[in-house]
Chain A
Amino acid sequence: MKCDWVRQNILFYVYNELEDDARYEVEQHLARCPECATELNATRKFHATLSEMPVVEPTPNLLTASRMRLQEALETAQPGGFWHRLILEPGVWLRQIRMAPALAAAIFIVGFGGGIGATYNFLSAHGGYGVATGSLESGSGNQPQSVNLAQPLESSAIAGIRSVTQEPGSNQVSIKYDTVLTQEAQGSLNDQRIQQLLLFAARNNYNSGVRMDSVDVLTQSPDDSRVREALMYALQNDTNPGVRLKALDGLSGFVRQDARVRDEVLRALISDTNSGVRLQALRLVEPMKTDSNVRSVLIKLSQTDENVSIRSQARTMLAQMPEMD
């Protein structure tokens, strides 16, 4: 019944939450249906009534007092930083569990004590990690055992659940899952394997925190054209602006010496979508503003960048240079 649907959506119509097509349909219906129009009026009246409790702007005194109190507390507070990123965030992990019931079941099963049999076939290893498949059957006992969540499988260790089968009429469950074997490599920055993994991480890891850390470490590497390439790749392609900024940091030392780096930074200056990144790139090329390539980019930037601050800084830089032509 159209009226039912419209009634359910009148509230969202009033709060301007409907998509354009739904909004259109509601309006069309309301023009023809007096009952629904009455409901609309009632809803609007409700909206108006509740708006009689206006949102008061905090007084300047209150705002100032709050700021001062915060400042005092900040004097003694420690910013959380590096270590937090490394610790497995339980909230994220739990959310993954909630959304993957098979995964939750697999972990649940693993928690049971003895009587678990598993067979593993190791397939060929590629680039440092192996893949194992196994089958797992729950223990013999039917009595509830406390789930040993202190030793869960790392969610990243489970590559996928192949099948979950429950034997009918019992609480025996059989789950086939693939695991990823996590390994650890340790070494100095000069170690080839370390460098290889870092370069891989900078490009491929889905986790932007890991990409950021790897780019961070790479920036400390000695002159290495592959490192420079990885940083330029990150600057050009990484979706995360924080990672791009870190890559820019690492390239800052090479902008003068290496034409490719300079061109890449210029490219970022024009086309990066994040104005913070563009701003930093602008600072990096500032010492080279006499270069004709740089100059033509600055001219373009001063006219077409969407960020006012960038446009004006570019203009300032241009003004400081004598005309070369």
Chain B
Amino acid sequence: MPADSYAVAIPVGESSRSRRAEHGSGNQNPTSYSNMRGSLAAQGNRIDDTSLIREAQQGNRAAFEVLVRHYDQSVLRLALHLTGSESDAQDVYQEAFLKAYKNLGSFRFECSFYTWIYRIVTNLCLDHLRKRNVRKEDAPVAVDASGEEYSRLEQFADVRSGANPERDLMRRELGRKIGVALSVLTPRERMVFELKHYHGLKLRTVGEMLNTTEETAKNALFRATQKLRAALAEMR
């Protein structure tokens, strides 16, 4: 059933379970979820995700798309920084939200939607890291969307070109070193470090997302930093 003809079950009396005889008291008409979306966006407000999730669970694709917009930029940012590649990031994004859509029925509001979606994303990222580790013998060179070869590690380099070429060179070099150092971490250590250091999440949240405890996340962070410090020292 195409989303735009689905009767949105916003209970202003349009619900089939309602026993009210009349209604039409001038409320939003049931199919114009986009109107609601528009006016709320104009007010700069967000409907509580709860209603959106419920709508989406009942099959309202438009509601799901609005829900996605609340989170997708930060999901993409995470995937991009972790994978170092635009096309890999897009793949993670796609898989994550499709998986969310398919499993929405099993979301029972027992944690926040944010945690739930991030759990999906981090698991996909872990899979990605594991696959990448398996192919470690491959040179870290890949082909991007336009067919150009690029070094994955250079993605990490801060390529802002400024007035100081010397400093740019050093920055790029440092970025490359960091990329190498990060590759010595196990996928879980990498994930914990990524979420904590680069995205500022609390370790308790990181634990929830990885389906483990805060203590485990703390230990992973500790091990990760030990390894990173050792790796960086060696490269000096």
Q: Quick one: given A58-B73, A58-B89, are A52 and B47 in contact (CB under 8 Å)?
A: no
| B130 at interface, CB cutoff 8 A | no
Q: Mark A123-162, 1 if CB is under 8 A from B, else 0.
A: 0000000000000000000000000000000000000000
Give the complex CA separation of A287 and B36 in angstroms. 19
Instruction: Please determine whether B48 and A279 come into contact, CB atoms closer than 8 angstroms.
Output: yes
Q: Residues of B at under 8 Å CB distance from A?
A: 9-13, 15, 17-20, 23, 25, 27, 40, 43, 45, 47-51, 53-54, 56-59, 61, 64-65, 68-69, 72-73, 76-77, 80-81, 86, 89-90, 93-94, 97-98, 101-106, 108-110, 156-158, 171, 174-175, 178-179, 196-199, 202-203, 218, 221-222, 225, 228-229, 232
Is A277 close to B, CB under 8 A?
Answer: yes
Our pick among B77, B80, B103, B198 for the contact of A80 (Cβ within 8 Å) is: B103
Choose from A56, A70, A209 the contact partner of B108 (Cβ within 8 Å).
Answer: A209
- Given contacts A74-B61, A245-B51, are A54 and B23 in contact (CB under 8 A)? no
B203–A241 contact, CB under 8 A? no
Q: Which residues does A use to contact B, with CB under 8 Å?
A: 11-12, 15, 17, 43, 46-47, 49-58, 62-63, 65-67, 69-71, 73-74, 77-85, 89, 208-209, 212, 219-220, 240-242, 245, 248-250, 252-254, 256, 274-277, 279-280, 283-284, 286-287, 307-309, 312
Docked CA distance A306–B219 (Å): 39
- Give the one of B9, B23, B40, B108 with max A CB within 10 A: B108
Contact of A79 with B76 in the complex, beta carbons under 8 Å: no
The answer for the CA separation of A85 and B54 in the assembled complex, in Å, is: 14
Which B residues are in CB contact (< 8 Å) with A284? 11-12
Contact yes or no, A79 B80, CB < 8 A: no
With a CB–CB cut-off of 8 A, which chain B residues contact A279? 47-48, 51
Q: Which residues of A contact B10 (CB under 8 A)?
A: 280, 283
A80 near B105 with CB under 8 A, answer yes
Known contacts A66-B76, A249-B15, A284-B11, A79 near B56 by CB under 8 Å: yes
Contact B106 A52 (CB under 8 A): no
**Contacts of A89 on B, CB cut-off 8 Å?**
106
B11 near A79 with CB under 8 A, answer no
A49 to B57, alpha carbons, bound, how many Å? 44
B48 contacts A49, C-beta separation under 8 Å: no
A302 to chain B, nearest CB (A): 15
Q: Contact between A74 and B64 (Cβ–Cβ < 8 Å)?
A: yes
| Known A-B contacts A242-B108, A309-B40; A50 and B178 likewise in contact (beta carbons under 8 Å) | yes
CA distance A89 to B105 in the complex (A): 12
Known A-B contacts: A53-B156, A70-B94. Give 5 more (CB < 8 A).
Answer: A65-B90, A80-B104, A242-B50, A249-B17, A276-B47
Chain A hits for B13, CB < 8 A: 252, 287
Distance A201 CA – B97 CA, assembled complex (angstroms) = 33
Least distance between B81 CB and chain A CB atoms (Å):
5
Q: Are B11 and A280 in touch, CB under 8 angstroms?
A: yes
Chain B residues within 8 Å of A286, by CB: 12, 25, 27
B25 and A83: CB pair below 8 A?
no
Residues of B within 8 A of A69 (CB): 90, 94
- Nearest Cβ in chain B — how far from A93, in angstroms? 13
Partner of B15, one of A63, A65, A252, A276: A252
State whether A79 touches B17 (Cβ < 8 A).
Answer: no
- Chain B residue with the shortest CB-CB distance to A311: B45
A85 CB contacts on chain B under 8 angstroms: 105-106, 108
CB distance from B26 to the nearest CB of A (A): 9
Of B17, B56, B178, B179, most A-chain CB atoms within 10 Å: B17
B54 and A242: CB pair below 8 A? yes
> In the bound complex, what is the Cα–Cα distance between A284 and B222 (angstroms)?
53
Return chain B residues, CB-CB under 8 Å to A56: 77, 80-81
B222 proximity list for chain A (CB < 8 A): 11
Instruction: Determine the chain B residues whose CB is within 8 A of the CB of A241 once the complex forms.
Output: 50, 109
Task: Give, as a whole number of angstroms, the nearest-CB distance from B192 to chain A.
Answer: 11
Contacts of B59 in A (CB 8 A): 79, 81
Q: Which residue of A lies closest to B48 (CB)?
A: A276
A256–chain B nearest beta-carbon distance, Å: 7
A15-B221, A284-B11 known; A70-B27 Cβ under 8 A: no
Q: A-B pairs with the 7 shortest C-beta distances?
A: A253-B19, A276-B50, A276-B48, A81-B105, A276-B51, A84-B105, A80-B105
* Residue contact A63 to B50, C-beta cutoff 8 Å: no
Q: Are B98 and A287 in contact (CB under 8 A)?
A: no
Q: Which residues from chain A contact B68 at a C-beta distance below 8 Å?
A: 67, 70
21 CB-based A-B contacts, threshold 8 Å: A11-B221, A12-B203, A49-B174, A50-B197, A53-B158, A58-B86, A66-B93, A69-B90, A79-B59, A80-B102, A80-B106, A81-B58, A84-B105, A208-B109, A245-B50, A249-B17, A276-B50, A279-B51, A283-B12, A286-B12, A286-B27
